[in-house]
Structure 1
């Protein structure tokens, strides 16, 4: 996965997380499915950010 694909993926995950959290504020909380999805989004976001950092570190050391 290229760097721009990783950042695009991170942006998509953040957008979905924001929609869930905003919806929860307006509707009095999250459903159990939404809570599960939010946890999954958080895991995916952590993994994508970690991958991006590793890619950046490799690029820095390759120069």
Structure 2
């Protein structure tokens, strides 16, 4: 899912900041790329949380 950063409207509906947009949503007359470049949508890669290191990895190095 893509998250809306700034409100915008399409021919069919309005999207408010914080809304989720399905990847299959009709955003015409806009494009997903154009909305991302304009700062209206975040990129799908940014929406995924970063993987964290296992808690035990840091503790094993500290004991060395």
TM-score by length of 1: 0.29
Larger Rg belongs to = 2
Provide the TM-score with structure 2 as the length reference. Answer: 0.29
* Larger RCO (CA within 8 A; separation ≥ 6): 1
